[in-house]
Structure 1
Protein backbone atom coordinates (compact mmCIF):
# COMPACT_ATOMS: atom_id res chain seq x y z
CA UNK A 1 0.00 0.00 0.00
CA UNK A 2 1.52 3.40 -0.99
CA UNK A 3 2.21 6.02 1.66
CA UNK A 4 -0.37 8.76 2.19
CA UNK A 5 2.44 11.24 1.69
CA UNK A 6 6.21 11.31 1.63
CA UNK A 7 8.56 14.25 2.01
CA UNK A 8 12.19 13.75 1.03
CA UNK A 9 14.83 16.31 2.09
CA UNK A 10 12.31 19.14 1.87
CA UNK A 11 13.49 22.69 2.60
CA UNK A 12 11.59 25.97 2.34
CA UNK A 13 13.60 29.18 2.03
CA UNK A 14 12.21 32.69 2.09
CA UNK A 15 14.24 35.92 1.86
CA UNK A 16 16.46 35.97 4.91
CA UNK A 17 14.92 32.92 6.56
CA UNK A 18 15.07 29.13 6.41
CA UNK A 19 11.56 27.89 7.33
CA UNK A 20 12.10 24.15 6.80
CA UNK A 21 15.50 22.50 6.74
CA UNK A 22 16.00 19.06 5.13
CA UNK A 23 12.77 17.48 6.39
CA UNK A 24 12.06 13.87 5.46
CA UNK A 25 8.78 12.40 6.68
CA UNK A 26 6.62 9.47 5.58
CA UNK A 27 3.03 8.95 6.72
CA UNK A 28 1.25 5.69 5.95
CA UNK A 29 -2.44 4.95 5.46
CA UNK A 30 -4.16 4.57 8.82
CA UNK A 31 -1.63 6.72 10.70
CA UNK A 32 -2.69 9.44 13.14
CA UNK A 33 0.13 11.96 13.66
CA UNK A 34 0.62 14.92 15.95
CA UNK A 35 3.26 17.54 15.11
CA UNK A 36 4.69 19.29 18.18
CA UNK A 37 7.07 22.20 18.54
CA UNK A 38 7.45 25.78 19.79
CA UNK A 39 6.45 28.89 17.87
CA UNK A 40 8.61 29.30 14.79
CA UNK A 41 9.43 25.60 14.56
CA UNK A 42 8.03 25.33 11.02
CA UNK A 43 4.88 23.39 11.86
CA UNK A 44 2.47 25.53 9.85
CA UNK A 45 4.85 25.68 6.88
CA UNK A 46 5.08 21.89 6.99
CA UNK A 47 1.29 21.63 6.96
CA UNK A 48 1.15 23.95 3.93
CA UNK A 49 3.45 21.59 2.02
CA UNK A 50 1.42 18.54 3.00
CA UNK A 51 -1.80 20.40 2.17
CA UNK A 52 -0.55 21.21 -1.36
CA UNK A 53 -0.68 24.94 -0.56
CA UNK A 54 3.05 25.51 -1.01
CA UNK A 55 5.90 24.04 -3.04
CA UNK A 56 9.18 23.16 -1.36
CA UNK A 57 12.22 25.20 -2.36
CA UNK A 58 14.27 22.00 -2.57
CA UNK A 59 13.46 18.34 -2.10
CA UNK A 60 10.44 16.32 -3.19
CA UNK A 61 6.92 16.07 -1.79
CA UNK A 62 4.60 13.26 -2.86
CA UNK A 63 1.05 13.82 -1.59
CA UNK A 64 -1.65 11.18 -2.10
CA UNK A 65 0.33 9.66 -4.95
CA UNK A 66 1.01 12.99 -6.70
CA UNK A 67 4.30 14.89 -6.80
CA UNK A 68 4.12 18.61 -6.08
CA UNK A 69 5.32 20.51 -9.12
CA UNK A 70 4.05 17.84 -11.50
CA UNK A 71 0.32 17.79 -10.76
CA UNK A 72 -2.69 20.11 -10.74
CA UNK A 73 -2.83 21.51 -7.21
CA UNK A 74 -6.49 22.54 -7.39
CA UNK A 75 -7.56 18.95 -8.00
CA UNK A 76 -5.23 17.56 -5.35
CA UNK A 77 -6.52 19.99 -2.73
CA UNK A 78 -10.07 18.63 -3.12
CA UNK A 79 -8.79 15.37 -1.61
CA UNK A 80 -7.45 17.12 1.49
CA UNK A 81 -9.46 18.52 4.40
CA UNK A 82 -7.87 21.41 6.29
CA UNK A 83 -8.87 23.35 9.42
CA UNK A 84 -7.01 26.43 10.60
CA UNK A 85 -7.54 30.02 11.68
CA UNK A 86 -6.84 31.07 8.07
CA UNK A 87 -9.79 28.98 6.88
CA UNK A 88 -11.98 30.48 9.62
CA UNK A 89 -10.95 34.01 8.66
CA UNK A 90 -12.12 33.46 5.07
CA UNK A 91 -15.65 32.50 6.10
CA UNK A 92 -18.06 35.48 6.03
CA UNK A 93 -19.40 36.16 9.54
CA UNK A 94 -22.94 36.26 8.16
CA UNK A 95 -22.68 32.81 6.51
CA UNK A 96 -25.01 30.23 8.04
CA UNK A 97 -23.45 27.15 9.61
CA UNK A 98 -25.31 24.98 7.11
CA UNK A 99 -23.83 26.89 4.16
CA UNK A 100 -20.40 27.03 5.80
CA UNK A 101 -20.30 23.24 5.73
CA UNK A 102 -22.15 22.76 2.44
CA UNK A 103 -19.96 25.19 0.45
CA UNK A 104 -16.97 22.90 1.00
CA UNK A 105 -18.42 20.77 -1.82
CA UNK A 106 -17.29 23.52 -4.23
CA UNK A 107 -14.19 24.45 -2.22
CA UNK A 108 -15.47 27.99 -1.65
CA UNK A 109 -16.21 30.12 1.38
CA UNK A 110 -19.36 32.17 1.10
CA UNK A 111 -22.22 30.81 -1.00
CA UNK A 112 -23.04 32.64 -4.19
CA UNK A 113 -24.70 31.00 -7.18
CA UNK A 114 -23.37 27.45 -6.80
CA UNK A 115 -25.77 24.57 -7.24
CA UNK A 116 -25.63 21.61 -4.88
CA UNK A 117 -26.82 18.08 -5.46
CA UNK A 118 -29.10 16.31 -2.98
CA UNK A 119 -26.09 14.13 -2.10
CA UNK A 120 -24.15 17.25 -1.12
CA UNK A 121 -26.96 18.36 1.19
CA UNK A 122 -27.22 14.87 2.68
CA UNK A 123 -23.48 14.73 3.30
CA UNK A 124 -23.49 18.17 4.96
CA UNK A 125 -26.32 17.13 7.27
CA UNK A 126 -24.50 13.89 8.10
CA UNK A 127 -21.22 15.57 9.04
CA UNK A 128 -22.99 18.27 11.06
CA UNK A 129 -24.79 15.53 12.97
CA UNK A 130 -21.59 13.60 13.60
CA UNK A 131 -19.89 16.70 15.01
CA UNK A 132 -22.83 17.85 17.09
CA UNK A 133 -23.56 21.08 15.24
CA UNK A 134 -26.88 20.24 13.58
CA UNK A 135 -28.64 22.47 16.08
CA UNK A 136 -26.51 25.39 14.90
CA UNK A 137 -27.45 25.03 11.23
CA UNK A 138 -29.33 28.35 11.04
CA UNK A 139 -26.89 30.27 13.20
CA UNK A 140 -24.36 32.51 11.49
CA UNK A 141 -20.68 31.65 11.72
CA UNK A 142 -19.85 34.99 13.31
CA UNK A 143 -22.11 34.33 16.32
CA UNK A 144 -20.50 31.00 17.29
CA UNK A 145 -18.32 30.40 20.31
CA UNK A 146 -14.74 29.31 19.69
CA UNK A 147 -15.61 25.71 20.53
CA UNK A 148 -18.58 25.74 18.16
CA UNK A 149 -16.43 27.20 15.40
CA UNK A 150 -13.84 24.45 15.77
CA UNK A 151 -16.51 21.77 15.39
CA UNK A 152 -18.08 23.47 12.39
CA UNK A 153 -14.67 23.78 10.71
CA UNK A 154 -13.97 20.07 11.20
CA UNK A 155 -17.41 19.18 9.85
CA UNK A 156 -16.66 21.38 6.83
CA UNK A 157 -13.25 19.72 6.35
CA UNK A 158 -14.87 16.27 6.41
CA UNK A 159 -17.71 17.30 4.09
CA UNK A 160 -15.87 16.13 0.96
CA UNK A 161 -14.84 12.80 2.50
CA UNK A 162 -11.12 13.65 2.24
CA UNK A 163 -8.30 11.13 2.16
CA UNK A 164 -6.17 13.35 4.40
CA UNK A 165 -7.32 15.65 7.23
CA UNK A 166 -5.00 18.39 8.51
CA UNK A 167 -5.83 20.00 11.86
CA UNK A 168 -3.84 23.15 12.64
CA UNK A 169 -4.07 23.75 16.40
CA UNK A 170 -7.71 22.68 16.82
CA UNK A 171 -7.52 23.18 20.60
CA UNK A 172 -6.23 26.77 20.46
CA UNK A 173 -8.45 29.27 22.27
CA UNK A 174 -10.74 26.66 23.84
CA UNK A 175 -11.62 26.53 27.51
CA UNK A 176 -11.04 23.27 29.39
CA UNK A 177 -14.52 21.85 28.83
CA UNK A 178 -14.63 22.69 25.12
CA UNK A 179 -11.14 21.28 24.64
CA UNK A 180 -12.01 18.00 26.33
CA UNK A 181 -15.22 17.67 24.30
CA UNK A 182 -13.28 18.26 21.08
CA UNK A 183 -10.53 15.79 22.01
CA UNK A 184 -13.13 13.13 22.84
CA UNK A 185 -14.63 13.59 19.37
CA UNK A 186 -11.20 13.46 17.72
CA UNK A 187 -10.44 10.29 19.64
CA UNK A 188 -13.60 8.68 18.25
CA UNK A 189 -12.66 9.86 14.75
CA UNK A 190 -9.12 8.49 15.09
CA UNK A 191 -10.46 5.03 15.91
CA UNK A 192 -12.90 4.91 12.97
CA UNK A 193 -11.93 2.61 10.12
CA UNK A 194 -13.42 5.12 7.66
CA UNK A 195 -11.43 8.07 8.98
CA UNK A 196 -8.89 9.76 6.71
CA UNK A 197 -5.22 9.95 7.58
CA UNK A 198 -4.99 12.51 10.41
CA UNK A 199 -2.25 15.06 11.01
CA UNK A 200 -2.69 17.51 13.89
CA UNK A 201 -0.40 20.42 14.80
CA UNK A 202 -0.20 21.53 18.43
CA UNK A 203 2.03 23.25 20.98
CA UNK A 204 0.74 21.15 23.88
CA UNK A 205 0.97 17.43 24.69
CA UNK A 206 -2.24 17.81 26.71
CA UNK A 207 -4.10 18.29 23.41
CA UNK A 208 -3.10 14.93 21.90
CA UNK A 209 -6.14 12.64 21.51
CA UNK A 210 -5.64 9.21 23.04
CA UNK A 211 -6.06 7.45 19.68
CA UNK A 212 -3.13 9.13 17.92
CA UNK A 213 -0.34 6.77 16.88
CA UNK A 214 2.73 8.83 15.89
CA UNK A 215 4.52 12.06 16.75
CA UNK A 216 6.84 14.43 14.87
CA UNK A 217 8.86 16.86 17.02
CA UNK A 218 10.27 20.03 15.40
CA UNK A 219 12.55 22.88 16.37
CA UNK A 220 13.87 25.73 14.18
CA UNK A 221 12.63 24.11 10.98
CA UNK A 222 14.31 20.75 11.63
CA UNK A 223 13.02 17.38 12.82
CA UNK A 224 14.13 16.56 16.37
CA UNK A 225 12.50 13.11 16.45
CA UNK A 226 9.70 11.17 14.79
CA UNK A 227 8.07 7.78 15.14
CA UNK A 228 5.49 5.81 17.17
CA UNK A 229 4.18 8.02 19.94
CA UNK A 230 4.79 5.60 22.81
CA UNK A 231 8.53 5.37 22.13
CA UNK A 232 9.17 8.83 20.63
CA UNK A 233 7.22 11.20 22.88
CA UNK A 234 9.68 11.20 25.80
CA UNK A 235 10.85 13.79 28.30
CA UNK A 236 14.27 13.81 26.63
CA UNK A 237 12.89 14.51 23.16
CA UNK A 238 10.50 17.17 24.48
CA UNK A 239 13.36 18.85 26.31
CA UNK A 240 15.40 19.06 23.11
CA UNK A 241 12.35 20.33 21.21
CA UNK A 242 11.42 23.13 23.61
CA UNK A 243 14.91 23.98 24.85
CA UNK A 244 14.33 23.35 28.55
CA UNK A 245 14.14 20.42 30.94
CA UNK A 246 10.67 18.90 30.65
CA UNK A 247 8.97 16.33 32.84
CA UNK A 248 6.40 14.20 31.03
CA UNK A 249 3.62 12.09 32.52
CA UNK A 250 1.11 9.78 30.90
CA UNK A 251 -2.13 8.39 32.25
CA UNK A 252 -5.01 6.74 30.42
CA UNK A 253 -3.48 7.45 27.02
CA UNK A 254 -3.23 11.19 27.70
CA UNK A 255 -0.09 13.22 28.34
CA UNK A 256 0.86 16.11 30.62
CA UNK A 257 4.10 18.09 30.59
CA UNK A 258 5.71 20.68 32.84
CA UNK A 259 9.13 22.16 33.37
CA UNK A 260 11.25 19.88 35.54
CA UNK A 261 12.09 21.13 39.03
CA UNK A 262 15.63 22.22 39.90
CA UNK A 263 17.78 22.05 43.02
CA UNK A 264 16.11 21.25 46.33
CA UNK A 265 12.66 21.13 44.70
CA UNK A 266 13.95 18.45 42.35
CA UNK A 267 15.41 16.50 45.30
CA UNK A 268 12.07 16.48 47.11
CA UNK A 269 10.32 15.16 44.00
CA UNK A 270 13.01 12.58 43.24
CA UNK A 271 10.69 9.66 43.88
CA UNK A 272 8.07 10.89 41.39
CA UNK A 273 7.83 8.33 38.60
CA UNK A 274 7.89 9.27 34.95
CA UNK A 275 6.58 6.42 32.86
CA UNK A 276 7.51 8.04 29.53
CA UNK A 277 11.21 8.70 29.84
CA UNK A 278 11.89 10.46 33.14
CA UNK A 279 13.40 13.91 33.54
CA UNK A 280 15.72 14.95 30.74
Structure 2
Protein backbone atom coordinates (compact mmCIF):
# COMPACT_ATOMS: atom_id res chain seq x y z
CA UNK A 1 0.00 0.00 0.00
CA UNK A 2 1.31 3.46 -0.85
CA UNK A 3 1.98 6.07 1.78
CA UNK A 4 -1.10 8.16 2.51
CA UNK A 5 -3.51 5.60 1.04
CA UNK A 6 -6.53 3.82 2.44
CA UNK A 7 -7.38 0.20 1.73
CA UNK A 8 -10.54 -1.87 1.88
CA UNK A 9 -12.79 -2.47 3.75
CA UNK A 10 -13.21 1.29 4.14
CA UNK A 11 -16.13 2.47 2.00
CA UNK A 12 -15.14 4.72 -0.94
CA UNK A 13 -16.80 7.69 0.76
CA UNK A 14 -14.29 7.41 3.62
CA UNK A 15 -11.12 7.06 1.58
CA UNK A 16 -8.43 9.62 2.22
CA UNK A 17 -5.05 10.45 0.73
CA UNK A 18 -3.50 9.48 -2.59
CA UNK A 19 -0.63 7.25 -3.71
CA UNK A 20 2.77 8.89 -3.44
CA UNK A 21 6.08 7.91 -5.00
CA UNK A 22 8.38 5.87 -2.78
CA UNK A 23 10.97 8.10 -1.06
CA UNK A 24 14.71 7.60 -1.36
CA UNK A 25 15.82 4.42 0.48
CA UNK A 26 18.21 6.38 2.70
CA UNK A 27 15.23 8.22 4.19
CA UNK A 28 13.33 5.04 5.07
CA UNK A 29 13.55 3.93 8.70
CA UNK A 30 10.78 1.32 8.67
CA UNK A 31 9.20 -0.51 5.78
CA UNK A 32 6.55 -3.20 6.18
CA UNK A 33 5.63 -4.79 2.87
CA UNK A 34 2.22 -6.49 3.03
CA UNK A 35 3.02 -8.45 6.16
CA UNK A 36 0.81 -11.14 7.65
CA UNK A 37 1.12 -12.66 11.09
CA UNK A 38 -0.73 -15.86 11.88
CA UNK A 39 -0.86 -17.59 15.26
CA UNK A 40 -2.81 -20.78 15.95
CA UNK A 41 -4.32 -20.40 12.48
CA UNK A 42 -5.68 -17.01 13.47
CA UNK A 43 -4.58 -13.96 11.44
CA UNK A 44 -3.39 -11.20 13.76
CA UNK A 45 -2.09 -8.98 10.95
CA UNK A 46 -3.38 -9.07 7.39
CA UNK A 47 -1.47 -7.47 4.49
CA UNK A 48 -0.19 -4.59 6.63
CA UNK A 49 1.93 -2.07 4.72
CA UNK A 50 3.73 0.87 6.29
CA UNK A 51 6.63 3.15 5.35
CA UNK A 52 8.11 5.46 7.98
CA UNK A 53 10.70 8.10 7.15
CA UNK A 54 13.43 9.61 9.27
CA UNK A 55 12.11 12.30 11.59
CA UNK A 56 8.47 11.25 11.33
CA UNK A 57 6.36 10.57 14.42
CA UNK A 58 3.70 7.93 13.85
CA UNK A 59 0.76 6.87 15.97
CA UNK A 60 -0.67 3.35 15.67
CA UNK A 61 -4.33 3.60 16.68
CA UNK A 62 -7.18 1.13 16.89
CA UNK A 63 -9.49 -0.71 19.28
CA UNK A 64 -8.30 -3.38 21.69
CA UNK A 65 -7.16 -6.45 19.81
CA UNK A 66 -6.62 -4.59 16.54
CA UNK A 67 -2.98 -5.70 16.29
CA UNK A 68 -1.19 -2.49 17.33
CA UNK A 69 1.25 -4.03 19.82
CA UNK A 70 1.68 -7.03 17.53
CA UNK A 71 2.79 -4.74 14.72
CA UNK A 72 5.07 -2.84 17.11
CA UNK A 73 6.69 -6.17 18.04
CA UNK A 74 7.65 -6.69 14.39
CA UNK A 75 8.92 -3.12 14.05
CA UNK A 76 11.04 -3.69 17.16
CA UNK A 77 12.54 -6.93 15.78
CA UNK A 78 10.95 -9.09 18.46
CA UNK A 79 8.52 -10.87 16.14
CA UNK A 80 8.87 -12.12 12.57
CA UNK A 81 5.97 -11.87 10.13
CA UNK A 82 4.49 -15.09 8.78
CA UNK A 83 4.47 -13.63 5.27
CA UNK A 84 5.73 -10.43 3.72
CA UNK A 85 8.88 -8.47 4.37
CA UNK A 86 9.92 -6.03 7.09
CA UNK A 87 12.96 -3.78 6.95
CA UNK A 88 14.13 -1.90 10.03
CA UNK A 89 16.87 0.70 9.69
CA UNK A 90 17.86 -0.86 6.38
CA UNK A 91 18.07 -4.40 7.78
CA UNK A 92 15.65 -7.05 6.61
CA UNK A 93 14.15 -9.35 9.24
CA UNK A 94 15.27 -12.91 8.58
CA UNK A 95 18.62 -11.75 7.22
CA UNK A 96 20.01 -9.90 10.22
CA UNK A 97 21.18 -10.60 13.77
CA UNK A 98 18.15 -9.32 15.68
CA UNK A 99 20.18 -8.97 18.89
CA UNK A 100 22.42 -6.44 17.17
CA UNK A 101 19.48 -4.74 15.48
CA UNK A 102 17.63 -4.27 18.78
CA UNK A 103 20.58 -2.25 20.10
CA UNK A 104 19.69 0.42 17.54
CA UNK A 105 16.06 0.66 18.67
CA UNK A 106 14.83 2.40 21.81
CA UNK A 107 11.90 0.44 23.28
CA UNK A 108 9.57 1.82 25.94
CA UNK A 109 7.23 -0.66 27.62
CA UNK A 110 5.22 0.62 30.63
CA UNK A 111 5.11 -3.00 31.87
CA UNK A 112 8.91 -3.00 32.31
CA UNK A 113 9.63 -6.19 34.32
CA UNK A 114 12.07 -4.70 36.82
CA UNK A 115 11.82 -6.46 40.19
CA UNK A 116 14.58 -4.84 42.24
CA UNK A 117 14.50 -1.43 43.92
CA UNK A 118 16.84 0.39 41.54
CA UNK A 119 17.20 4.16 41.48
CA UNK A 120 16.18 6.27 38.51
CA UNK A 121 19.85 6.74 37.54
CA UNK A 122 20.49 2.99 37.74
CA UNK A 123 17.41 2.26 35.64
CA UNK A 124 18.51 4.73 32.99
CA UNK A 125 22.03 3.26 32.96
CA UNK A 126 20.66 -0.18 32.08
CA UNK A 127 19.96 1.34 28.69
CA UNK A 128 23.70 1.12 27.98
CA UNK A 129 23.74 -2.65 28.38
CA UNK A 130 20.19 -3.27 27.15
CA UNK A 131 19.38 -5.31 30.23
CA UNK A 132 16.60 -5.11 32.82
CA UNK A 133 19.03 -5.19 35.76
CA UNK A 134 22.50 -3.72 36.09
CA UNK A 135 25.12 -6.13 34.79
CA UNK A 136 27.29 -7.45 37.65
CA UNK A 137 30.79 -5.96 37.75
CA UNK A 138 29.90 -3.52 34.94
CA UNK A 139 31.06 0.04 35.62
CA UNK A 140 29.56 2.98 33.72
CA UNK A 141 31.98 5.49 32.23
CA UNK A 142 31.96 9.16 33.06
CA UNK A 143 30.31 9.76 29.70
CA UNK A 144 27.61 7.21 30.59
CA UNK A 145 26.91 8.97 33.89
CA UNK A 146 26.84 12.41 32.27
CA UNK A 147 24.48 11.27 29.51
CA UNK A 148 22.20 9.54 32.02
CA UNK A 149 21.92 12.74 34.07
CA UNK A 150 21.27 14.80 30.91
CA UNK A 151 18.42 12.49 29.88
CA UNK A 152 17.01 12.43 33.40
CA UNK A 153 16.93 16.24 33.27
CA UNK A 154 15.31 16.18 29.83
CA UNK A 155 12.54 14.00 31.24
CA UNK A 156 12.07 16.35 34.21
CA UNK A 157 13.26 13.84 36.80
CA UNK A 158 16.38 15.48 38.24
CA UNK A 159 14.78 15.82 41.67
CA UNK A 160 13.98 12.10 41.57
CA UNK A 161 17.39 10.86 40.38
CA UNK A 162 17.96 8.79 43.52
CA UNK A 163 14.34 7.73 44.02
CA UNK A 164 13.81 3.99 43.79
CA UNK A 165 11.51 2.14 41.38
CA UNK A 166 8.89 1.06 43.97
CA UNK A 167 8.55 4.67 45.10
CA UNK A 168 8.03 6.16 41.63
CA UNK A 169 4.63 7.10 40.31
CA UNK A 170 3.49 5.49 37.06
CA UNK A 171 4.23 8.71 35.21
CA UNK A 172 7.73 8.95 36.67
CA UNK A 173 8.36 5.35 35.67
CA UNK A 174 7.29 6.11 32.12
CA UNK A 175 9.64 9.08 31.83
CA UNK A 176 12.50 7.09 33.38
CA UNK A 177 11.97 4.35 30.80
CA UNK A 178 12.08 6.86 27.95
CA UNK A 179 15.40 8.17 29.30
CA UNK A 180 16.64 4.57 29.52
CA UNK A 181 15.63 3.87 25.92
CA UNK A 182 17.54 6.96 24.76
CA UNK A 183 20.84 6.05 26.44
CA UNK A 184 22.37 4.42 23.33
CA UNK A 185 21.20 7.39 21.23
CA UNK A 186 18.99 5.24 18.97
CA UNK A 187 17.66 6.56 15.66
CA UNK A 188 14.29 4.86 16.32
CA UNK A 189 12.10 5.01 19.42
CA UNK A 190 9.06 2.74 19.91
CA UNK A 191 6.53 3.56 22.64
CA UNK A 192 3.87 1.00 23.55
CA UNK A 193 0.98 2.83 25.25
CA UNK A 194 3.32 5.00 27.35
CA UNK A 195 0.43 6.86 29.06
CA UNK A 196 -1.21 3.69 30.39
CA UNK A 197 -2.46 4.16 33.96
CA UNK A 198 -1.53 7.85 34.22
CA UNK A 199 -3.72 10.53 35.72
CA UNK A 200 -4.29 13.70 33.69
CA UNK A 201 -1.39 15.68 35.17
CA UNK A 202 1.08 12.81 34.78
CA UNK A 203 -0.10 12.22 31.21
CA UNK A 204 0.40 15.86 30.30
CA UNK A 205 3.92 15.90 31.78
CA UNK A 206 4.79 12.77 29.83
CA UNK A 207 3.44 14.11 26.54
CA UNK A 208 5.24 17.42 27.06
CA UNK A 209 8.48 15.48 27.59
CA UNK A 210 7.92 13.55 24.36
CA UNK A 211 7.23 16.76 22.43
CA UNK A 212 10.38 18.35 23.87
CA UNK A 213 12.44 15.28 23.00
CA UNK A 214 11.18 15.29 19.42
CA UNK A 215 11.93 18.98 19.11
CA UNK A 216 15.50 18.54 20.32
CA UNK A 217 16.15 15.45 18.17
CA UNK A 218 14.89 16.33 14.66
CA UNK A 219 16.35 13.14 13.15
CA UNK A 220 14.71 10.87 15.72
CA UNK A 221 11.91 8.68 14.36
CA UNK A 222 9.17 7.49 16.71
CA UNK A 223 6.19 5.15 16.64
CA UNK A 224 3.67 5.36 19.48
CA UNK A 225 0.85 2.89 20.15
CA UNK A 226 -2.39 4.03 21.77
CA UNK A 227 -6.14 3.64 21.50
CA UNK A 228 -6.84 7.06 23.05
CA UNK A 229 -6.40 10.08 20.80
CA UNK A 230 -6.04 12.28 23.89
CA UNK A 231 -2.71 10.50 24.50
CA UNK A 232 -1.15 11.78 21.27
CA UNK A 233 1.59 14.41 21.58
CA UNK A 234 1.16 17.55 19.49
CA UNK A 235 4.25 16.56 17.48
CA UNK A 236 2.49 13.51 16.01
CA UNK A 237 3.00 13.78 12.26
CA UNK A 238 1.42 10.60 10.87
CA UNK A 239 -1.10 8.00 11.91
CA UNK A 240 -2.14 4.48 10.98
CA UNK A 241 -5.57 3.10 11.87
CA UNK A 242 -5.80 -0.66 12.46
CA UNK A 243 -8.96 -2.70 12.69
CA UNK A 244 -8.96 -6.48 13.08
CA UNK A 245 -5.36 -6.66 11.92
CA UNK A 246 -5.93 -4.67 8.72
CA UNK A 247 -4.89 -1.15 7.81
CA UNK A 248 -7.92 1.08 7.52
CA UNK A 249 -6.00 4.27 6.73
CA UNK A 250 -2.47 5.64 6.96
CA UNK A 251 -0.77 8.91 6.17
CA UNK A 252 -0.50 12.47 7.55
CA UNK A 253 -2.23 12.65 10.92
CA UNK A 254 -4.66 15.42 9.97
CA UNK A 255 -5.87 13.37 6.97
CA UNK A 256 -6.26 10.11 8.91
CA UNK A 257 -7.55 11.22 12.32
CA UNK A 258 -10.92 12.39 11.08
CA UNK A 259 -14.43 11.80 12.39
CA UNK A 260 -15.29 9.52 9.46
CA UNK A 261 -12.19 7.36 9.55
CA UNK A 262 -11.91 7.02 13.33
CA UNK A 263 -15.62 6.15 13.53
CA UNK A 264 -15.08 3.45 10.90
CA UNK A 265 -12.04 2.14 12.76
CA UNK A 266 -13.85 1.78 16.09
CA UNK A 267 -17.20 0.87 14.49
CA UNK A 268 -18.91 3.58 16.54
CA UNK A 269 -19.84 7.22 15.86
CA UNK A 270 -16.96 9.31 17.24
CA UNK A 271 -16.47 13.03 16.73
CA UNK A 272 -12.84 14.09 16.37
CA UNK A 273 -11.69 17.63 17.16
CA UNK A 274 -8.28 19.25 17.44
CA UNK A 275 -7.41 22.27 19.56
CA UNK A 276 -3.95 23.72 20.23
CA UNK A 277 -2.45 20.75 18.43
CA UNK A 278 -4.15 18.12 20.60
CA UNK A 279 -6.81 15.67 19.47
CA UNK A 280 -9.98 14.80 21.33
CA UNK A 281 -12.55 12.08 20.68
CA UNK A 282 -16.19 12.28 21.78
CA UNK A 283 -18.77 9.56 21.35
CA UNK A 284 -21.68 10.49 19.12
CA UNK A 285 -22.09 12.33 15.83
CA UNK A 286 -20.77 15.83 15.29
Is the shorter-chain TM-score for this pair beyond 0.5, marking a shared fold?
yes
Question: 1:273: which partner in 2?
Answer: none
| Alpha-carbon RMSD | 1.3
The answer for the alignment partner of 2:162 in structure 1 is: 138
TM-score by length of 2: 0.88
Pairwise CA distance, 1:210: 0.9
Q: CA deviation at 1:193?
A: 3.9
Matches within 5 A, 1:122-271: 122-194=146-218, 196-261=220-285
Distance in 2 (CA, whole Å) between partners of 1:193 and 1:177 is 24
1:92 and 1:60 mapped to 2: Cα distance? Answer: 36
SS of 1:12's equivalent in the other structure is strand
CA contact (8 A) 2:230 2:278 kept: yes
Between the aligned partners of 1:50 and 1:229, the Cα distance in structure 2 is 20
Contact kept in structure 1, 2:249 and 2:261, CA below 8 Å: yes
The ranges of structure 1 where at least 4 consecutive aligned residues each deviate by more than 4 angstroms after the TM superposition are none
Which residue in 1 is equivalent to 2:75? 50
Q: Distance in 1 between matches of 2:61 and 2:214?
A: 18
Deviations, residues 152-175 of structure 1 (Å, cap 9, x unaligned) = 011101111111000111111110
| Aligned equivalent of 2:86 | 61
User: Aligned pair count?
Assistant: 260
1:107 to 130, 141, 154: 130
Give the secondary structure class of the aligned counterpart of 1:85. Answer: coil
| Partner SS for 2:203 | helix
Unaligned ranges ≥5, structure 2? 1-25
Q: 2:240 touches 2:249 (CA, 8 Å); kept in 1?
A: yes
Structure 1 unaligned segments of length 5 or more: list them. Answer: 262-278
- The farther-off stretch of 231-240 and 117-126 is 117-126
Residue 229 of structure 1 deviates from its aligned partner by 0.8
Q: 1:121/1:194 Cα in 2 relative to 1: closer, same or farther (>3 Å)?
A: farther
Deviation at 1:113, TM superposition (A): 2.2
Contact 1:93 1:143 in 2 (8 A): no
Pairs within 5 Å for 1:8-47: 8-47=33-72
Q: Which has the higher contact order (CA 8 A, sep 6+)?
A: 2
- SS at 2:58 equivalent: strand
